[in-house]
Each structure stands twice: as structure tokens, then as C-alpha cells.
Amino acid sequence: MKTILVTGANGQLGQCLQKHSKKYPNFTFLFCSSKELDITSKEDLEVYFQNHEIDYCINAAAYTNVEQAENEREKAFLVNAEGAENIAAICKANNAILIHISTDYVFNGKANEPYKETDEVGPINVYGASKLKGEEGITSILNEHFIFRTSWLYSEFEHNFYNTIQRKADEKAELNITTSQLGTPTNANDLAEYILDIINSGSTDYGIYHFSNEGEATWYDFAEEILDYSEKRDRVILNKTGFFKTLAERPEYSVLSKEKVINHFGPIKDWRISLHQLIDEK
């Protein structure tokens, strides 16, 4: 029986992994919140791994506030870079396989076709730079790793764009949503299931992979689809805006190519289909 440690278990991906873990009775899961297991502490990690035999570690712990990272650079790098390196080192010392979550924000957004894993990286904000540093740390320390770059994660859990739009609709608010960024909304439930299926398969095709739902959209497209399918479109005034001022610069284009991950591990749902399924669940 495989034992799987999930760090950052109270985040949205962590909660999705908890939700879908019930489908895998052949696994033993250890879910740790960031308070229960601090990945920035080598000592905490050493003690935890001494007390548990870990086969896989899914590192879902991260500093994810893109805006705040601009003012908290040291904290973002502590968690996303140093923490990732700590996880890689402890996994290597204990013969555990690491599954780490990264981001489309490692790219600069100047491309005009979906980014492949081999494309040149060049983050334009602190968050992206900290996540790239984490990737580099992992790949330099540990061979037995899967790194999944993903984009625009949402789910029924935690603070995210999907939940914000649903709440604003219930409040009958006026919304100004940007059309200047093109990417792919990704249901965190799909990523969670995909990761667990890979573990279940026993694959050793280690490396960096891109995972998002299929298709592409602007944030305005995403908001409109949420409202239309939820039958709340008439509750809000939805305005397009070409520019939305933010502290952190965002890549204008961050669609990820899924060719590699699909060839290795199987198909991925279109973002609209996955969004509709989530809404239908509620």
C-alpha cells in the first residue's frame, strides 16, 4: 500500500485531493496543512519523515498571492523556492517521489501559441520568479519528480475567481473584467484526479509537464461562462475592460500546451465542460 503525503492540504488543491482520495482505498493518505507541517523548516520535515514511511509527496503548499508577493518577495521565495528545495532534499533522502505544483507564470506571456515544457522561461512578477526558482531547485536535487505547471486554478474550495464571480452575482454587483489576458481556467478537481491516477499507474516518466484544461479564454470569457451556465447572467452588470490595473504584471498570453502530458498520461477535459460539471455538482 502506497503512502502519500499531501502538504498544503487546506488549500484548494489540497482540499480537492482530500475529496478525491476516497476513490483510492489502496492508498494511505497523510494530509498536512501548512501549520501542521511547515515546508520552510528542514527540521520539521526531517522529524515527519522519520516518523512516517512516505512513498509519494504531493507538494501543494505554496505562497499564491500574486499581488502581495510584490511586497513580500522574501516570504514568497521562502515558501515557493526554499520550501520546494527542502521538500526535494527530504524526498531524496527518504527515496520518496515528489509531485510538485508550479505555474504558467514562469513564462513572460509574449508567445502566440501554447507554451511547451521546453520553451524559454522568463517570469515577469515575483510570484512567477519564486515558483521558477522552486522548479530549478527540485530538478537540481531530485531525479524522481513530477512538476506540473498549471494555470488559473479554481474549485468550490477557498478564494478563487470562480467563487468570487458566484458571490458577486448573488450580491448583484457590477463587474469590470479584463479581456487583456488569454489563458485557460483549470478545475483543481481535474488536476487532483489526474495526479492520483498517475500515482496509481506507477509511472516513472518523471519530468516537467503542463496541465490545464483544454481550450483558451480571457478572464471575461470565464466570468461570462460562469454566469451564463449558473443562470445568473441577468443578476449582474458585466463590463469588458481592456486594462485592469494590478500591482503585479501578468503575462498577456499563458496558454499551456498539453501535448506532452496527454501523450504520456491521457486526455484532459475542455475547460467549459469541466466548469459545467462543477456547477452541476452544487
Annotated catalytic residue: which of 48, 56, 105, 127? Answer: 127
Q: Tell me, yes or no, if 63 is annotated catalytic.
A: no
The end-to-end CA distance of the chain, in Å, is 33
Q: Is the dihedral of CA 269, 248, 159, 3 positive or negative?
A: positive
State the greatest distance between any 2 C-alpha atoms of the chain, in Å, as a whole number. Answer: 56
How many residues appear in the chain? 282
119 burial level (CB within 10 Å; 0-12, 13-18, 19+): middle
CB 97 within 8 A of CB 91: yes
CB 258 within 8 A of CB 212: yes
- Catalytic residue set: 127
